[in-house]
Structure 1
Amino acid sequence: MSKVKEAVDVEVPLRTAYDQWTQFEEFPKFMEGVEEVRQLDDRHNHWTTSIGGVRREFDTEIVDQLPDDRITWRSIGGDTQQRGSVRFERLDDTHTRVELTMDVEPTGVAEKGASALGMIDRRIKGDLHRFKDYVESGGDIGGWRGRIRPEDPSSTL
């Protein structure tokens, strides 16, 4: 499993950074290779990706979400195995640190090769930096402020 950890400081208030991240259907605007994210309910999203010519569809489940603090998720079903957590830290009234941690299990020869070459790591880090540009430019800020509690405490990062 490939572990990626990256942090970026964004020039927006904590609430703005957090609210923008909860707009999952906007992810294709700053995540390379993500064609669509469809929010199924408060806890579940359906993803369509195309990376290196490999198209995948999979679902994710939010296992823990605390407004202005963190969102933790995992993939469910399918052959895409990942889990991750994004944390938000207030630096001052107009700056927020966004820290992303992901564990990704590459499947297939192409993905395993991409992982060995560090491409998955670079893509995820690039997505976080594109998020910075997107949220600082105003994005499509909305937000969902609900709380999701873990059903199984061992399932969080």
Structure 2
Amino acid sequence: MTRQEASSVVDLPVEHVYARLSAVEEWPRFLTGVRTVRRTSFERFVFTVTGGVDGPGRTRDVEVAVGHHPKEHRIAWHALAGPAFDGELRMAEAGPGHTRVALTLVAEPAGFLAGVSEMVGATSPAAVLDVQRLEELLTTPAG
């Protein structure tokens, strides 16, 4: 199991950041491997993902439950079946008008070689790249 974490501070108030990240359908703009997101009910979605447990270039649909926790400024998700595909976005005030956004990703490695790479610490820093893309998303006007 791969667990990655990354965080960044953005020049926006925490309420704005939380509201923007509550739009789960926008997550493919920053989450590595997530191609599309389709809402199926109030807190359930189907994420079309590439890579992961199925290997590079392979695409599969993952049914995901997303929990919104506005009082905690936290959004968490987990796969309802199959390999782990879980994560959490935590937002906290980092001074007036600034927000620290922390991203945690938990997923199964893609096959035997990825598992070996994970054991020796050679995994790609997907969470770091995702947070960089997240910063870009948050600083771009919603459209």
How far, CA to CA, are the matches of 1:50 and 1:137 in structure 2?
25
Give the TM-score normalised by the residue count of structure 1: 0.75
Question: 2:77 maps to what in 1?
Answer: 73
Give the TM-score normalised by the residue count of structure 2: 0.82
Q: Is the 8 A contact 1:83 1:102 kept in 2?
A: yes
Q: Which structure 2 residues correspond to residues 2-41 of structure 1 after superposition, within 5 A?
A: 2-41=2-41
| Change in 2 beyond 3 A, CA 1:76/1:110 | farther
Q: What is the percent sequence identity of the aligned residues?
A: 23
Q: Give secondary structure in 2 for the equivalent of 1:5.
A: strand
How far, CA to CA, are the matches of 1:76 and 1:111 in structure 2?
23
Q: Give secondary structure in 1 for the equivalent of 2:12.
A: coil
Q: Give secondary structure in 2 for the equivalent of 1:26.
A: helix
How far, CA to CA, are the matches of 1:105 and 1:7 in structure 2?
21
Amino acid at match of 1:3: R
How far, CA to CA, are the matches of 1:44 and 1:135 in structure 2?
23
77, 94, 107: which one pairs with 2:97?
94
Q: Is the 8 A contact 2:104 2:127 kept in 1?
A: no
State the shift of 1:48 in Å: 0.3
State the shift of 1:61 in Å: 0.9
State the shift of 1:25 in Å: 0.8
State the shift of 1:54 in Å: 1.6
| Change in 2 beyond 3 A, CA 1:138/1:93 | farther
| Change in 2 beyond 3 A, CA 1:54/1:111 | farther
Indicate the RMSD between aligned Cα atoms, in angstroms: 2.1
Verify: 1:57 aligned to 2:22, yes or no: no
Q: Where does the alignment leave 5 or more consecutive residues of structure 2 unmatched? A: none
Verify: 1:135 aligned to 2:138, yes or no: yes
How far, CA to CA, are the matches of 1:62 and 1:11 in structure 2?
26
